[in-house]
């Protein structure tokens, strides 16, 4: 097994050479002095090589971690090179699937009157989009949602906060159903807001009811 000292002090030679670690991991030392980590593996009877990064940007411990991840992929029958390419494609797709994009897609799917859609979009633009609109949905966490809800409630708008919670959850329902998100981050914080207090008006006493009925009688007499 290699040591940090061996990696650091390895000098270039006329020809490229390798310093072997273990489990197929080795440090490749080039004639120009550059060093790079490589993992050699066999998949489906064919020998292949996977680049793990250059030294010293990638230290020995990190190279071993990357090698272990690659070994697990090979054990599962997957080429580390293909897995790396798929991961890059997924990250590009994730970056384009922002919350704002999916929210507007969700809104267009609703069979609502245009005025209702406009009002809901206005709420999103005021309350939600400034915080998470440009974020890929896979990067949005319950902490993001909780902060939005708490700030909205503190501004004296608990009803708007509740509407935001329902709307964001519905948007994530679409994102999960279309494999653009893994879960709904609203769910863990769904009960974080205090329940809206319903203010009950005091009932009229008999004397007040009598006065109210008299007013109605006077109105009817005048209109008659």
The whole-number pLDDT of residue 111 equals 94
- pLDDT of the residue at 98: 95
The DSSP symbol for 15 reads S
Question: What is the H or E stretch that residue 132 is in?
Answer: helix 129-132
pLDDT bin (cut points 50, 70, 90) of residue 220 is low
Place of tokens 């609703």: 110
CB 164 within 8 A of CB 133: no
Q: Tell me, what's the pLDDT at 219?
A: 61
Write out pLDDT tens, residues 118-164.
Answer: 999 999 999 999 999 999 999 999 999 999 999 999 998 899 999 99
Tell me, what's the pLDDT at 202?
62
Q: What is the pLDDT of residue 50?
A: 94
Cβ–Cβ under 8 Å, residues 189 and 146 = yes
Sign for the pseudo-dihedral over CA of 123, 126, 127, 132: positive
Structure confidence by residue, pLDDT tens digits, 35-94: 999 999 999 889 999 999 999 999 999 999 999 999 999 999 989 988 888 888 888 877
Q: Write the pLDDT tens digit of every residue in 156-190.
A: 889 999 999 999 999 999 999 999 999 999 999 99
Name the token pair of 99.
């919350």
- Which domains are seen in the chain, by residue range? 4-78 (3.30.160.390), 99-189 (1.10.150.130)
Can you give the three-state secondary structure of 43-104, one letter per residue? ECCEEEEEEEEEECCCCHHHHHHHHHHHHHHHHCCCCHHHHHHHHHHHHHHHHHCEHHHHHH
């Amino acid at each position: 097994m290699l040591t940090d000292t061996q990696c650091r002090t390895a000098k270039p030679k006329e020809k490229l050479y390798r310093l072997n670690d273990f489990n197929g991991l080795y440090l490749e030392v080039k004639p120009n002095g550059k060093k790079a980590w490589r993992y050699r593996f066999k998949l489906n009877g064919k020998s292949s090589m996977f680049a793990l990064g250059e030294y010293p940007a990638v230290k020995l411990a990190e190279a071993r971690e990357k090698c272990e991840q690659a070994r697990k992929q090979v054990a599962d029958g997957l080429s580390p090179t293909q897995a790396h390419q798929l991961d890059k494609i997924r990250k590009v797709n994730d970056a384009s699937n922002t919350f704002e994009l999916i929210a507007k897609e969700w809104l267009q799917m609703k069979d609502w009157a245009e005025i209702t859609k406009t009002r809901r979009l206005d709420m999103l633009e005021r309350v939600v989009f400034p915080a998470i609109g440009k974020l890929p949905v896979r990067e949005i966490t319950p902490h993001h949602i909780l902060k939005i809800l708490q700030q909205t409630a503190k501004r004296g708008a608990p009803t708007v906060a509740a509407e935001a919670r329902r709307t964001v959850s519905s948007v994530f329902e679409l994102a999960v159903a279309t494999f653009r998100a893994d879960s709904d981050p609203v769910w863990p914080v769904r009960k974080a807001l205090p329940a809206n207090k319903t203010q009950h008006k005091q009932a009229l006493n008999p004397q007040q009811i009598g006065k109210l009925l008299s007013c109605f009688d006077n109105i009817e007499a005048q209109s008659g």
